Chains A and B, each alone.
Chain A
């Protein structure tokens, strides 16, 4: 590890942050147009962030509350930096030498737990309800995801993400989605839950418990959360791209692939209405679980 790695890491963060923000805006715009509305401007997420940071009054409910966004953003950035973003690139390999796929899988929870704690300190009941729902849902889609990951790790005989990507090079016929379809499907279904879009958006549930855990956050604190909301999904997209779709050797390929992968939860979300928590928990433990078990049996 050298100091230039830090510089490269900052560059990665910068690119992904902007990509994430634009992706957010663009997807909302598309969604609006499909729904025959005009929709927001594609750069609206930038405006929101600037607005939040510019607010003059900030309130805090306590230490945990104050550092929760820090946990959250650290989780997002960490997830991104522990993965090789661009295959074969020293510059965008980042800190992937610190740990393998298991680290990435578990580091996802760093931000989630920190955020849950901060939200809870606000004392707002909607926050607590949101956390309860969120954790419940996480446990259930984690099972098919784990089974898929085990299947892939066995397929490639490694937990090293770079090696997994390397094994998929040389045409789409080598991608995991083709070579190990059951594992891929199990993981992609779990991905729906991880992205938290409809039908699995009961955590934030905008019309019911106004945005759940982050309810009490405002101004700069919310701004940090919004940064994370750009980075974290992008990082997850990159993870799935690496594991299932052969990774990316340059930024153009990355943007194309992740955009298309993102369309999967977007489409599903447009078609299906919201599940209750108990429904989604049960659902994840039926069809996706069975697919995951098939993937394991086929190893």
Chain B
């Protein structure tokens, strides 16, 4: 094996010999340099391989033939090998990436480049503290040397700030080192550790100076203005190196010197870390400049790492797993994003819309963004999971909360940026070229993230059972994305169908019901996909990702599997939503509510895991404390998906702007994931209260208010799809209310309403989607009289609204009847009154929907409109058939559901006599009602027909409207603001208090961020002042009157 000392030798040798080439042959010089970098990478990689596979022992290399402290010693252990590999790979790929720049600047620059990496390598390996200082200096001088690559005045002034700041920091470090030497009488780190300096008065100060200097090298908030300027102005390749390679090296140094400081150092590091994490991400909110934004994010991630290191005492042997997961995700993703920024070449994040010219780049960018935020299947996901679990286990609730808050804020700006990339205007943006040398490193890192993510999941004990088959299917669909729609659609349907077929025998209880909603629902909605022509690029992998997530929820046995699936589902649905028109802001708010909700769920699972060794979902049934808090966290998390009041503002836009066949997926199917989550939760945790305050009663009220508000908002919409979206909000309010009742009938109502809602909402969204496809508008008042043009669609909508309104004889009535009985059983009459009130309000939007679109006057421009396409109608009529069966034979739906609920809630179950359902209070025979109503209808109709069979059909304007054709036909369609008087009476109830609230929160936080970031006034002297103030403040915190850190 090649000794690690050769890394230094090769680097130095290359740097010197490059000097001889001068300008002779730049290409040759570059090849030579690349060879050296490759060799360095090879050495570190080979050691890493040895440590991983051959039980290699850590070795010490003593220079100059003496043992320390009389010589400088290097160490090569597993962790050194890991860090060196990361650093050298970043270096190698950076060199390839910066080929143009390096070539342009010539051999000097290549020398500096190699020296920089030599510095970082030694920094990692050395065990001599002064040697550490020297090579840190070499690295930072080399970095400053590279920054001059860019000729822009900004880059140069940024470099100047950088060198001033690092010079001061290294001065502090030097003072610390000499003081440490004074007390420990050795420069060898192992000796220093043994002399326990922290317990000596002056020694503690010395150690503190070293610690703070190293921390300052990591750019802690707020003493980091100098670094931000470099990130912003320097070549993106340098941003990569500073962010991924240098930071990794210094992080390693920190872990190396922490033993000198002793236990107490962790506390300081933790505090600095969390302040940096929160502060930096907060300020990132206001950034529009790509590279500066990446800078804030980098610093934030390093802050998170510092926090994790600071929390070592609590994380125990999981620390490395967690820290490395965060570090590797950060390093690869940040490098990838910096590199991409060099390709796209847009200073402003809005300019990233240009990336859409090459969808594959968008996939790469998405990979990096999701890895940074900590989504599966990336290592950061598993790291964050483990972190939260350990923190909860050690009762570090505040740390847990702060980390999640910081992560959330980071998600905000990263997804905003991503949104611009996917959906921003890309009309007048400059073209960009993709050079092979710039794209290959990016691809390698993206693939690396997936590979390491998979490797990480095998390391997490409880993640070993994760089901990757659906994800492979997604990959397959991505691979065949060039095929036409009908092939991919068929494959997707077949895939879901086959999977459902294979798992069907193993499903039972609620899993079975929801599996049918998710998967049978998926198949139905995919049928509509045959309507589309062409390729529909990117659609199918995303759809399948959502369904894979939903499926995972069903199959999950452990909290980790559940959370994993939840996040996969979120990713898929996010992309589906953002595919719609004008969907940028809606998709962002969807994502933010999802991420926020996911963190609540994560926190809840974490708390539930306290004192448990297993990760099974059943631990929820047996939590060791915090029960009401766990319940609330999880319930609120799930309610972000069911869009309960307060958490609903993402929904209307997201569902309304989606494509015709996506709306039913996200509205009729996706929302049920929240219901499923609540069921899983409630079944296991049972009744919960804060003192005497019953949480379920609160949930019932939330459900009731959600129902009223959702329905009322629906009544006031002008946009048909938005109306349906609000209707979903309202309907899930009923479901929440039913679940909150915690009784047989309540759950029967909730589950059956979920099934029914799935059916009629799919029906209506497909029907309205078909209409929108044909008339090219969603504004209802621009339509009218379409019954004659689209009669089949009309029948769908008619049946759909009869079901919604709960009017007998269709199946919607069953839900109402059960709910009534459930309420009488339970006794929560006031929220129940509100629920029934909401039910009546539903009439308003139901009528509005069908009237304004299909009835009234046909518009001139719609005279040639055709019926919706066959493939849109087919799923509608399949559903209609099922609805009719359920209506006539309600026990075919309700009896099985009742049996599922029976083991959990047996009191007050319905008694079935054929189709007659008997409850404690009343009875209902769906079949008989159907016959009676049908009979009466037929008789009356026959009578009318007999009396009026020769009725004369008249044309559109032959109405009693002054017996004339109105001059403005659209005015005779009384449609705009249809319920104006109602709005006048009750509109105040739906004033946008909640969106105003969230808006104000967001504005407020952004305003704070904007105020705080003014501390970075761009002046090098201010930055130095920050550094000094930082040292003083943390000196006071560390010593706080007494000595000893």
Contact = CB atoms under 8 A, between A and B. Distances in A.
Which 8 residue pairs of A and B lie closest in terms of their CB atoms, listed nearest first? Answer: A159-B922, A100-B922, A277-B981, A220-B948, A281-B985, A120-B855, A278-B985, A128-B974
A15 interface: no
A17 to B, nearest CB: 13
Contacts of B827: 154
A16 to B, nearest CB: 14
Contact of A147 (B813, B829, B929, B933): B829
Contacts of A296: 829-830, 833
Given A97-B925, A123-B785, A150-B824, A293 B830 contact: yes
B847 A116 contact: yes
A123 B944 contact: no
B857 A142 contact: no
B470 interface: no
Contact of B933 (A110, A129, A285): A110
Interface string B826-859: 0101101100110011011011001100011100
A106 B923 contact: no
Contact of A106 (B798, B813, B856, B956): B813
Interface string B370-386: 00000000000000000
Contacts of A58: 948, 950-952
A216 interface: yes
Contacts of A82: 929, 932
Interface of B: 785, 787-788, 798, 802, 805-808, 813, 816-817, 820-821, 823-824, 827, 829-830, 832-833, 836-837, 840-841, 843-844, 846-847, 850-851, 855-857, 920-925, 928-929, 932-933, 936-937, 940-941, 943-944, 947-948, 950-954, 956-961, 971-975, 978-982, 984-986
Given A97-B925, A99-B808, A138 B840 contact: yes
Contacts of B922: 99-102, 158-160
B944 A224 contact: yes
A129 B840 CA distance: 19
A89 interface: no
Nearest to B801: A113
Contact of A282 (B846, B855, B929, B985): B985
Contact of B817 (A103, A136, A281): A103
Contacts of A64: 787, 855
A216 B948 CA distance: 15
Nearest to A130: B974
B554 to A, nearest CB: 34
A140 to B, nearest CB: 8
A91 to B, nearest CB: 17
B856 A113 contact: no
A215 to B, nearest CB: 6
Contacts of B829: 147, 150-151, 154, 296, 299
Nearest to B989: A285
Contact of B932 (A81, A146, A279): A81
A235 interface: no
Contacts of A121: 787, 855-856
Given A100-B924, A129-B974, A142-B840, A136 B985 contact: yes
A221 interface: yes
Contacts of A97: 923, 925, 928
A204 interface: no
Interface in A66-87: 66-67, 69-71, 73-74, 77-78, 81-82
Contacts of B981: 132-133, 136, 276-278, 281
Interface in A222-266: 223-224
Contact of B837 (A73, A99, A143, A221): A143
B816 A106 contact: yes
Contacts of A98: 924-925, 928-929, 932
Nearest to A295: B829
A157 interface: yes
A147 B833 contact: yes
Given A121-B855, A125-B973, A292-B833, 20 more contacts: A61-B958, A73-B940, A97-B928, A99-B923, A100-B923, A102-B924, A106-B813, A113-B805, A120-B855, A124-B961, A131-B847, A139-B982, A147-B829, A150-B823, A150-B824, A216-B960, A219-B948, A221-B948, A224-B943, A277-B985
Given A103-B817, A136-B982, A224-B944, A153 B921 contact: yes
A62 B955 CA distance: 9
Nearest to A116: B847
22 contacts: A60-B952, A61-B959, A64-B787, A98-B925, A99-B925, A102-B922, A113-B847, A116-B847, A116-B851, A121-B856, A136-B844, A139-B843, A143-B833, A150-B823, A150-B824, A159-B821, A159-B824, A160-B921, A221-B948, A221-B951, A224-B944, A282-B985
A107 interface: yes
A66 B972 CA distance: 20
Contacts of A122: 959
A292 B921 CA distance: 21
A194 interface: no
A34 interface: no
B833 A150 contact: yes
Interface in A1-48: 1
Contacts of B986: 281-282, 285
A266 B973 CA distance: 34
Interface string A92-120: 00010111111100110110010011001
Contacts of B973: 123, 125, 128
Contacts of B944: 66-67, 69-70, 220-221, 224
Given A120-B851, A123-B973, A136-B844, A95 B958 contact: no
A221 B403 CA distance: 70
A191 to B, nearest CB: 16
A253 to B, nearest CB: 25
B72 to A, nearest CB: 84
A99 B824 contact: no
A59 interface: yes
A158 B820 CA distance: 11
A77 B974 contact: no
B961 A78 contact: no
Given A57-B952, A100-B923, A77 B940 contact: yes
B972 A125 contact: yes
A107 B805 CA distance: 11
Given A159-B921, A221-B944, A117 B855 contact: yes
B891 to A, nearest CB: 15
A62 B985 contact: no
B821 A142 contact: no
A215 B585 CA distance: 45
A160 B971 CA distance: 48
Nearest to B835: A146
A281 B807 contact: no
B832 A59 contact: no
A205 interface: no
Contacts of A158: 921-922
Contacts of B978: 128, 132
A196 B975 CA distance: 24
B936 A74 contact: yes
A146 B836 contact: yes
Nearest to B959: A124
Nearest to B953: A60
A123 B856 contact: yes
B936 A78 contact: yes
Nearest to B806: A106
A156 to B, nearest CB: 9
A6 to B, nearest CB: 8
Contact of A223 (B821, B937, B947, B951): B947
Given A121-B787, A146-B836, A159-B821, A74 B937 contact: yes
A281 B984 CA distance: 10
Nearest to B943: A224
Contacts of B802: 113
Contacts of A151: 829
B847 A124 contact: no
